[in-house]
Structure 1
Amino acid sequence: RVGAYPHPPKQKASSGELAFQEQIRVRLNSASEQWQQTKILRHLPALVLAAASSNEVAMEAPWHGFSAGLFTYALTQYLWQATPATTIHTSLSRTAGTVSQLAASQQPQLITQQSPQNLFLNDYLPTASSMGADGVVTAVEDNSKTAQLWLAGLPAMVIEYCSNNSLLRIDSASSSVQLQIRSKDGLTAKAKLVSASASDNYQLEVGQLVQESVRVVPRNLGLTVALDLNLQRIERVDATSAFAGISSVSSVVTTSEQPADYLFGRVLAVYTAALSETDPSVKKEGYGLFYLSGDLIRNTSGTTGEAVKSAVNRLTNKLDILLAAKLLRLTANEGSSRLGVRASLEVVSPEPRLVMQRETWRASSLTAQCPPWCDLSTTEEGVTTSSVSAQPNTYYSDLKLGINEGSIPTLEIGSRIKYRLENYSDQPVYFMMVGFDTSSKAIALYQIQPLEAGSQPNEKPIIKEGMISPGETLTIPQDTAAFNWIISGLPGIAEIQLICSLAPFPKAIKALQAARHPQGEGERIGNLFYPLPIVQALLQDLHDASAVAPEVIGSISDNYALDVNTWATLSFIYQVV
């Protein structure tokens, strides 16, 4: 849907709405008195946040139990998890990246008369916790042992598929004080106090913040495909029948009011005429897959006269790739992970610059805190190295900050890049990199061990996961003489997921070994032709590493149970130009 609201506006405000309005007035009056006493706030510039640029459409999407604008929800969720030392620029840039996963052509905008790189969130908004939160207790019952929760701090995809028995901890309380979700409806959930070691006298209170502890998600997830309403009835019938035979598709919907992952429809000639000039893969007037925003997914358009069933069968491999992307995104937990890792994406040439940096905020908040006004010469996107390390990292001071105000970071075709990964935990961290290029093709980092002397001629090289020792930093690629990571392909949105764990990835590596016959040795970025079984194996590895006891979360045969202390998935989303 585009800028539409499913319910007509009320003619008169309800008593509850009027009471809420009065609460806001009281809070604003109180805050105004405090602000007048703070000199720095008198000089803060005004900021205007726009969901899209003036020539773009702002999208709204339905989820189970609620609907919201893509930008509105992404920004709200990010603000819940952000820490006080986060800059305004970072907030908008991260929000833009999240929006681009569902609406590639929608670019949120930040309008201000001053650069937002020196402006922090806590200058404009109060921060209730130095470590962020995923939700809040809104009501208690059952002698204060059961809570109603508002979980707007979780990403939309996570809240959509987060299952019963997921665990959350009370912020500022002992880690043993945990809540277990018993039921969920949209953004609200009912949870019960399950801490066995907590005092029997412990009582939940309204207003307590909660943070994710164990994420329980179903194993048998599929894609939901919506059918374009412009298709004729016979086309919709044929498409529904054809999708029923695709294992990666779990359901087909025919109304815009129902949640969906992608849209199946006919590619109009007027649309392909504009795209075919820059993308030779676009065919005229065939069927194709679209993002919910209406943007065509590359390499999915067919030829004129193609039958619906043939078109759906042609898309089988692409649907597997899109399901793999969905599962990978479901592991994203930069805001809730407590595994101490940080990574940055840097341009090596033609001009060295720092593109973006990602880190596990709650793990970093457990170490040294960054004061509100950090030395920005060692800062990227408003997060300083001092926030995660007692020793200042002067490396970044030599790099130009290549950032755009409130937009997705950009990389030019032909740029040579590298990733820098830091382990500031006290244990070895294993990692894999899987992503999707601008053509929606899966790619992966292959770390190929050289064959031993005396190996058979037909023996395949062995692939391994990466490993970084406690307190160490490494770059990817490590040997630039043997391998350079060059940005190539067509313009568009690309994403790389860096998955880190306290345990190796034996099942994922085995699946990766079976899916591709690696050539040469050392590091390689190559196509991942069958990503779905590899991503499923990766989730199983994370589940095994978490080792959550069945008695804690009940039956685990139908679910993955992932402990935020054992894994971290950092997302790098950028635009290739």
Structure 2
Amino acid sequence: MTLKRRDFLKSIGLATAALGLWDTGWPLLGDRYGQALAQPARRKLALLVGLDRYGSAARDCPPLRGCLMDLELQRQTLIYRYGFQPEDIVTLTDQAATRSAIETTFLEHLVQQARPDDVVVFHFSGYGSQIQGAEPDDLQPSLVAADSALPRSPRDQVNDLPLATLGLLLRALDCDRVITVLDTSHAIPPQTTPPLAVRWRSRLPSAQGDWNPDIVAVQDALRQRALRPQVPGLYLQGSDPHTPALELDLESFAVGAFTASLTQQLWQELPNNPLTVTWQRALSRLINVTGISQHPTLDGETSNRPSLGSWGLVPMSSQGVDGSITRVDSNGEVRLWFGGMSPTALKTLGYNSQFTVVTGEETGSVQPDSPSDPDRSPLSLKVQWRDRLTAAAYLTQGYPENLAQLAPGQGIQEKVRWLPRSPQLTIGLEPQLDRIERIDATSAFAAMGQVEAITMGDRAVDYVFGRLQALQSQSLNTNPDGSLSVSIHRYGLCAPGQEVLPGTISSADEAVKTAVQRLGSRFRSLLALKLLRSLINTDSTRVPLKLEFKDLTLDLPLARYVAERAVGLSPWYSWRNGSSALHFPLPQSHTLRYQCQNLGNQPLYGLLIATRPDGSFALGYPPSLNTAAQQPAKSWVFPPFSATIAIDYPSSLDWVVTTPTTAMELFCVVSTAPFPRTLQVLAPSWEDTFKPLRPVANPLGAIESLLEDLYQGSRGVLPPADAGDTVPLEVSQWAVVRLTGQVQG
């Protein structure tokens, strides 16, 4: 039986549902969360609870990997983005996070200290559960503490932390600016095991039995206090009662998908952004890493305040930042935290990556045609080494005289990104493959080049290779065609935690080596996609542009974007209405329009690259730019803002979605330099020069050429360097913005 949302809200003491992530389309989770943190307050208190290892008391809970990292993400955000004092943040982890310890610490640190003007944050990352009461429809949601063992007999008692108790604790607070974040879930999915390469934060199965008498005593004692009529503030849950919260592996560490997406957006948030923009971007981040399989919810009090700045206190940096300085040593070493970087950008971060320091002098905007100050040179840091989200860096110039200008809490923004010319694809071998299959698969992958096969669990993987039956039975989003028979000798690919990739399953039984060889061209397409995604710099680009993706049939904007860090970009040129999401419903048989506008005073050059789940690539190219046979393809030019757009250089592209597809990724590529190598690779494969979207025959060759073109565009503003196997790109010279469309229904 599934816990109903109304019963869930009633159990914790929330009178009504303010907004559910999927109930209203665009709830204001991110903005209201950020607003409450940004309000002026006498004191800011936080209690963070996370459990990766539950120990023998809760032996029914397999170890998690990302809960302690969730706490670190949250803690660093509170300290270096919103000015919490470290001594006002208390953490309980693993074996210390027993039920009674959580209750006692909440009372002592939050209830007894918080005053009416204070801000309080409570965060929990770990397993959730639901307790079956005496009646079949009596399901009570709970948090699984370190000593929450499943009852083994009718005499055993349930020792979870009921959400009803948490609700009473929250109602006992003497302040109304309260933010509760639960990166957990209570759903019991029909599958018995989580999807491949991810973990659920729902304890399976649900518990049944009587509550520990101590739990009842605590609730009775709390009811004797002067309680608020309902839970104050904002109540954020990692998933709704019907779907599990996911935990993902990212490089050498794991995170809760919800916590990671939320905190990344808070680092990037601007004080004056409309509230809907905040949430739509947070939602896009979550969808980019989980698909649409996780449905967070927001309940509690609402607000009509239009932006973070309207609460009277902005974050420590008034600009969106990729992280913060956390320590400055006298020997010149500067420690950095990269809480605002997306997973794809983080993978590229390493030796020689450069960041500029936001000192507070760079705030504000100027008109597009305003000249930049030639004497202004922001401090720049070069990374020497990185360990997960922490790095050590040094000033690129001005040491030691400029060291005194650096301080903990200053924001940092990406300046130079280094990318490999030949990316590596990591394939996980699903656990149900037998020994011979694994040996054959490893041998076949080793012969391919740029593709590596590893055992699942060793580290993060790009895709999973395995038997059809295993891939389908463990996929959250898969609905196999009933006519497709399941065989143990048919193999395919899936993304971590997601559905089988279309076109990767054979029509008959085959040997493992044959399957790997059959997928050779698909691996090349996936390599191209990985390289293309590594170019995404939506948050950090300084190219002055804005773009719109629109449904012309309904005259409805589907996605809008403006480069907020671009030099010379005035708020007047930002979008004033319409969707600011980068994820949108994909309409079928509608006319769609992509339009890019140059807001600077120099020409820009563009490409539009579309990809589908079946591995196909297409290039968006205006038919009016067609050239005669054997002639070089013309560049798609976006004229300066002050110029009249010439007929020969259109800034928009229209097409009709006619090919059946469940999803589409659009990569909007803009550069300060043209793309001669890319167009040279693409043009010979164009069969119909009047199609706005033209198939790409060699995706990997095209994207490798694109990387070289972008590198040539950056060489004019970077010091000479021996690039070798990696190339540096300067964020003021290129922009790659990803838009994702999903068919609804």
Same fold by TM-score, threshold 0.5 exceeded? yes
In 2, distance between residues paired with 1:526 and 1:479?
A: 17
1:138 aligns with 2:138: no
In 1, distance between residues paired with 2:95 and 2:403?
A: 47
Check 1:332–1:193 CA distance in 2 against 1; reply closer, same or farther (3 A cut). same
Query: SS state of the match for residue 345, structure 1?
Result: strand
Compute the displacement of 1:33 (Å): 8.0
Match of 1:240 among 412, 432, 442: 442
Mapping of residues 80-229 of structure 1, within 5 Å: 80-112=267-299, 119-122=306-309, 126-143=314-331, 145-172=332-359, 174-196=376-398, 199-200=401-402, 202-229=404-431
In 1, distance between residues paired with 2:304 and 2:545?
A: 23
Match of 1:433 among 608, 611, 619: 608
Deviations 1:330-373 (Å, cap 9, x if unpaired)?
11112111111010111011x21111101111117x5434xxxx
Check 1:3–1:423 CA distance in 2 against 1; reply closer, same or farther (3 A cut). farther
CA RMSD of aligned residues (A): 4.2
Residue of structure 1 in register with 2:28 after alignment: none
Compute the displacement of 1:155 (Å): 1.2
Q: Letter of the 1:417 partner, please give it.
A: L
Check 1:563–1:148 CA distance in 2 against 1; reply closer, same or farther (3 A cut). same
Query: SS state of the match for residue 382, structure 2?
Result: strand
In 2, distance between residues paired with 1:158 and 1:509?
A: 26
Deviations 1:108-144 (Å, cap 9, x if unpaired)?
434358999975355689423232111111111134x
Compute the displacement of 1:531 (Å): 0.7
Residue of structure 2 in register with 1:12 after alignment: 96
Residue of structure 2 in register with 1:446 after alignment: 621
Q: Letter of the 2:346 partner, please give it.
A: I
Asked if structure 2 preserves the Cα contact closer than 8 Å seen for 1:165 and 1:181, the reply is yes
Residue of structure 2 in register with 1:545 after alignment: 713
Match of 1:309 among 513, 518, 521: 513
Compute the displacement of 1:78 (Å): 2.2
1:260 aligns with 2:448: no
Mapping of residues 119-518 of structure 1, within 5 Å: 119-122=306-309, 126-143=314-331, 145-172=332-359, 174-196=376-398, 199-200=401-402, 202-249=404-451, 251-268=452-469, 271=473, 275-277=479-481, 284-285=486-487, 286-349=490-553, 351-363=554-566, 366-369=568-571, 386=572, 388=574, 401=578, 408-447=583-622, 449-451=625-627, 459-460=629-630, 462-471=632-641, 484-514=654-684, 516-518=685-687
Compute the displacement of 1:22 (Å): 9.9
Residue of structure 2 in register with 1:568 after alignment: 735
Check 1:59–1:200 CA distance in 2 against 1; reply closer, same or farther (3 A cut). closer
Query: SS state of the match for residue 386, structure 2?
Result: strand
Residue of structure 2 in register with 1:32 after alignment: 118
In 2, distance between residues paired with 1:307 and 1:513?
A: 38
Asked if structure 1 preserves the Cα contact closer than 8 Å seen for 2:252 and 2:459, the reply is no
Check 1:485–1:530 CA distance in 2 against 1; reply closer, same or farther (3 A cut). same
Compute the displacement of 1:11 (Å): 2.2
Deviations 1:445-473 (Å, cap 9, x if unpaired)?
13454455xxxxxx346433311111169
Compute the displacement of 1:235 (Å): 1.1
Structure 1, unaligned runs of 5 or more: 370-385, 453-458
Check 1:255–1:127 CA distance in 2 against 1; reply closer, same or farther (3 A cut). same
Compute the displacement of 1:222 (Å): 1.1
TM-score by length of 1: 0.80
Q: Letter of the 2:256 partner, please give it.
A: G
In 2, distance between residues paired with 1:46 and 1:476?
A: 54
In 1, distance between residues paired with 2:734 and 2:112?
A: 43
Q: Which structure ranks higher in relative contact order (CA pairs < 8 Å, sequence separation ≥ 6)?
A: 1
In 1, distance between residues paired with 2:665 and 2:648?
A: 17
In 1, distance between residues paired with 2:648 and 2:282?
A: 28
Asked if structure 2 preserves the Cα contact closer than 8 Å seen for 1:147 and 1:192, the reply is yes
Check 1:572–1:27 CA distance in 2 against 1; reply closer, same or farther (3 A cut). farther
Mapping of residues 41-52 of structure 1, within 5 Å: 47-52=234-239
Residue of structure 2 in register with 1:381 after alignment: none
Q: Paired residues, what number?
A: 528
Give the stretch that moved more between structures: 213-222 or 433-442. 433-442
Q: Letter of the 1:153 partner, please give it.
A: G
Asked if structure 1 preserves the Cα contact closer than 8 Å seen for 2:176 and 2:233, the reply is no
Give the stretch that moved more between structures: 225-234 or 65-74. 65-74
Compute the displacement of 1:48 (Å): 4.3
Check 1:70–1:295 CA distance in 2 against 1; reply closer, same or farther (3 A cut). same
In 2, distance between residues paired with 1:61 and 1:411?
A: 26
Asked if structure 1 preserves the Cα contact closer than 8 Å seen for 2:66 and 2:253, the reply is no
Q: Letter of the 1:86 partner, please give it.
A: N
Deviations 1:192-244 (Å, cap 9, x if unpaired)?
01124995564421111111111112222111111101111111111111111
In 2, distance between residues paired with 1:112 and 1:267?
A: 40
Check 1:181–1:411 CA distance in 2 against 1; reply closer, same or farther (3 A cut). same
Q: Letter of the 1:509 partner, please give it.
A: L
Q: Letter of the 1:355 partner, please give it.
A: L
Check 1:28–1:542 CA distance in 2 against 1; reply closer, same or farther (3 A cut). farther
Deviations 1:490-541 (Å, cap 9, x if unpaired)?
4523110101011001111111124x134234x6202223211111111111
1:529 aligns with 2:704: no
In 1, distance between residues paired with 2:644 and 2:710?
A: 23
In 1, distance between residues paired with 2:62 and 2:700?
A: 34
Compute the displacement of 1:77 (Å): 1.6
Give the stretch that moved more between structures: 540-549 or 329-338. 540-549
Asked if structure 1 preserves the Cα contact closer than 8 Å seen for 2:316 and 2:410, the reply is no
Query: SS state of the match for residue 350, structure 2?
Result: coil
Give the stretch that moved more between structures: 99-108 or 488-497. 99-108
Compute the displacement of 1:566 (Å): 0.9
Residue of structure 2 in register with 1:455 after alignment: none
In 1, distance between residues paired with 2:653 and 2:596?
A: 17
In 1, distance between residues paired with 2:635 and 2:301?
A: 44
Query: SS state of the match for residue 463, structure 1?
Result: coil
Deviations 1:409-451 (Å, cap 9, x if unpaired)?
2122112110121111111010111121243421211345445
Asked if structure 2 preserves the Cα contact closer than 8 Å seen for 1:418 and 1:475, the reply is no
In 2, distance between residues paired with 1:430 and 1:50?
A: 43
TM-score by length of 2: 0.63
In 2, distance between residues paired with 1:118 and 1:527?
A: 47
Q: Letter of the 1:252 partner, please give it.
A: A
Check 1:38–1:361 CA distance in 2 against 1; reply closer, same or farther (3 A cut). farther
In 1, distance between residues paired with 2:505 and 2:537?
A: 33
Q: Letter of the 1:565 partner, please give it.
A: S
Query: SS state of the match for residue 710, structure 2?
Result: helix
In 1, distance between residues paired with 2:659 and 2:536?
A: 26
Check 1:126–1:413 CA distance in 2 against 1; reply closer, same or farther (3 A cut). same
Query: SS state of the match for residue 179, structure 1?
Result: strand
In 1, distance between residues paired with 2:237 and 2:109?
A: 26
Compute the displacement of 1:159 (Å): 1.3
Asked if structure 2 preserves the Cα contact closer than 8 Å seen for 1:334 and 1:359, the reply is no
In 1, distance between residues paired with 2:267 and 2:492?
A: 37
Query: SS state of the match for residue 621, structure 2?
Result: strand
